[in-house]
Chains A and B, each alone.
Chain A
Amino acid sequence: MNAALLLAVGGLTAVGLYLLTGRSLSRIILGYSLLGHATVVALITAGGPAGWPPIAGQAAPEDMSNPLPQALTLTAIVISFGLTLFLLALARRQRTLSGDDLVEDDLEDRRIAAAENAPTGPEDPVAT
């Protein structure tokens, strides 16, 4: 386990989670990207000690680093790439619709919570 890598995971996660709790979607996107990086570093750390690149014919197999987490990492990167693209498109759609990119409250929930004598449901689903 490499302490620097672990610190990097912790730092990225902390900043990412902080950004994710914001209301502005552009911050959420940044937060998600940072969290994505944190998971990538975490997966790489899970692979054990660093070694030569695991490419056939470039080093002896016992000197290579563990290839499986790297394969998982690649897949994770691909997925977070696609999701970031989608989030960006969503943020833009929100901006054209409402002029800002804030996550809004659920109007129906507000209405029911405001109604008298109604048992309140679970608390308002605000942005996580």
Chain B
Amino acid sequence: MTVLISVAIVAPLLAAACSLAVRSHPPGRDIAVLAGLGSAALASHIMLVTVARDGTHTVAVGGWAPELGIVLVADLFAALILPVALTIIFVVEVFAIGQRRTVWAANPQLSGPLLCVLTSGVSLAFLTGDLFTLFVAFELILVSSYVLLTHQGNRSQVRAGMTYVVMNLLASTLFLFGVAFVYTATGTVNMALLAERIPQLETGVRLGIGAWFLVVFGTKAAIFPLFSWLPDSYPTAPTTITAVFAGLLTKVGIYSMIRFHNLMGMEDLGPIMLLVAALTMVLGVLGALAQSDVKRILSFHVISQIGYMFMGLSLFTVAGTAAAILFLIHHMPVKAVLFLVGGLIENHEGSSSLDRSGGLAGREPLVAVMFAIPALSLAGIPPFSGFVAKLAVISAAVDQGGTVVVVAALLAGGLTLLSMTKIWNEVFWGGRTDGPRPRPAPRRGRRIMHTATALAVAGTLMVSLFAGTLLDLSTEAAEDLRRPASYIAAVRP
């Protein structure tokens, strides 16, 4: 088990170093990156099986006690989310290898290794057991994402990257201040010890810490009103990078909130958080309706969907938290696939703008199917995973009597469907528009891109298929989170 946890974190880093060392040799570079990402993903799947069977496992780095050293904790929550995240990154990298053979590609010398560093940061963020290591993991993720966003250096990317960088730097600084506050108040940064000590603080101090970290993690997760950086920066990056960002980065923020605010017992913040969740859902989807570019529409939907997870968390019940976890598992692959399809549209049409494309369903029926499945899932149409996840969130809210937020969730669901229909009408139906068109990308590498996207679509279908099992596991994980005693006992035996 120690080996599995280490592999999930260190293997991508090693792969990054190896692929940098052989960066002028494309096949070697790709093999190194794929091997690193693949072994991490494999380790995380084995970890899930082991944790589901044997319970939480901890690793004390360097053999230090939790008061002093870094502890890595693989509890069921982490073990559930990690395989989803790492598998997505792996599939996206396969897509990227195909995309590199076309004109829309990212600079391969840097993007592969940086993606590995990002993966390592994601693993660390999910597995860490203390607040400061979480900060380090955030920085690892953000540094690599800053560079991934801007490394091509064209003007719109540098412009958009700047907003992203400044906003996230501010959030990181606030995080660090938060760590200082927490340490002053409790004398530790270990989450298990915090879970013991924070509930004993005065109400004002306790809620102050909770609200502070709500802002910190909320900026990363792009909740209302802290989301302005997201739709600005995501669409400018190359498709593969946007897919990873949209699928994972905001989710790391939500993940941290689910863990932190549940373990620290921040129930008193619930009502405000529910309001924020409703606003996030509705404003995100309204923003999406105003847009006329596939990638921008999808970026606004990221915000709207974050609202659902945040809503599940804000209920502070086992059912609500379980629903948020299930929504996380459903949302990560679906969003990544939609961005990959956005990349395919860009590849086929020469642009992802709605005005410049049309009639793609007739020419590329496969792409149309690969768009339709995740799009319907995102909108919450019955056979797909989105339906199960949304139903879980909404029924958890109904149990708590949150009428307003339920109405907001249903409204956002309807508008999501409307906005997906808009993409469908403009891109897949209708005729090709006249006027000057950018030359579509060459066909080379397209087969790899199609295969990777198809695999990812199959992955989202698997989530739908095993939704029942996943809900059971999520409920179990949520029960652990709502009862911090078990987490504390696992960290300090």
Contacts and interface: CB of A to CB of B under 8 A. Distances in A.
Q: Do A and B bind each other?
A: yes
Interface of A: 20, 25, 28, 32, 35-36, 38-39, 42-43, 45-47, 68-69, 72, 75-76, 79, 82-83, 86-87, 90, 93-94, 97-98, 103-104, 106-109, 112, 118-125, 127-128
Size class of B's contact patch?
A: 35 or more
B189 A72 contact: yes
Nearest to B162: A103
B445 interface: no
A121 B173 contact: no
Contacts of A82: 143
Contacts of A25: 162
Nearest to A123: B228
Contact of B184 (A45, A79, A86, A128): A45
A71 B289 CA distance: 48
Which are the 5 A-B pairs with shortest beta-carbon distances?
A125-B228, A121-B287, A39-B176, A42-B180, A46-B183
A3 B486 CA distance: 40
A12 B233 CA distance: 29
B179 A103 contact: no
Contacts, number: 124
B170 interface: yes
A94 B158 contact: yes
Q: Which secondary structure dominates where chain B touches chain A?
A: helix
Contacts of A72: 132, 179, 183, 189
7 contacts: A45-B184, A68-B189, A72-B189, A93-B153, A97-B154, A103-B163, A128-B163
Nearest to A36: B173
A93 B156 CA distance: 12
Given A20-B166, A46-B184, A122-B287, A79 B139 contact: yes
A36 to B, nearest CB: 7
B146 A45 contact: no
Nearest to B184: A46
Interface in B137-187: 139, 143, 146-147, 150, 153-156, 158-163, 165-167, 169-170, 172-173, 176-177, 179-181, 183-184
A69 B183 contact: yes
B80 to A, nearest CB: 29
Contact of B158 (A83, A93, A119, A125): A93
A90 B143 CA distance: 12
B231 A83 contact: no
B163 A125 contact: yes
A109 B232 CA distance: 8
B425 interface: no
Contacts of A45: 180, 184
A31 B147 CA distance: 21
Given A106-B232, A127-B163, A127-B166, A86 B180 contact: no
B179 A43 contact: yes
A43 B68 contact: no
B189 A128 contact: no
A103 B166 contact: yes
B292 interface: yes
Given A45-B184, A121-B286, A39 B161 contact: no
Contacts of A68: 68, 183, 189
A87 B139 contact: no
Nearest to B150: A90
A63 B183 CA distance: 20
A80 to B, nearest CB: 9
Given A86-B146, A108-B291, 15 more contacts: A25-B162, A39-B177, A43-B180, A47-B183, A69-B183, A79-B172, A86-B147, A90-B162, A103-B162, A104-B162, A112-B292, A121-B290, A124-B228, A127-B163, A128-B229
Contact of A20 (B170, B177, B184, B289): B170
B452 to A, nearest CB: 28
Contacts of B135: 76
Contacts of A120: 290
Interface string B313-355: 0000000000000000000000000000000000000000000
A106 B166 contact: no
Contacts of B158: 90, 93-94, 97
B196 interface: no
A125 B176 CA distance: 24
B473 interface: no
B167 A128 contact: yes
A28 B143 CA distance: 17
Contacts of A43: 176, 179-180, 183
Given A46-B184, A106-B232, A118 B159 contact: no
Contacts of B155: 97-98
A119 B150 contact: no
B159 A108 contact: no
Contacts of B162: 25, 90, 94, 103-104, 127
Contacts of B184: 45-46
A97 B165 CA distance: 18
B234 to A, nearest CB: 11
Given A120-B290, A127-B162, A127-B163, A83 B183 contact: no
Interface in B55-93: 68
B308 interface: no
Given A121-B287, A127-B166, A76 B176 contact: yes
Q: Which of B135, B183, B225, B289 has the most CB of A within 10 A?
A: B183
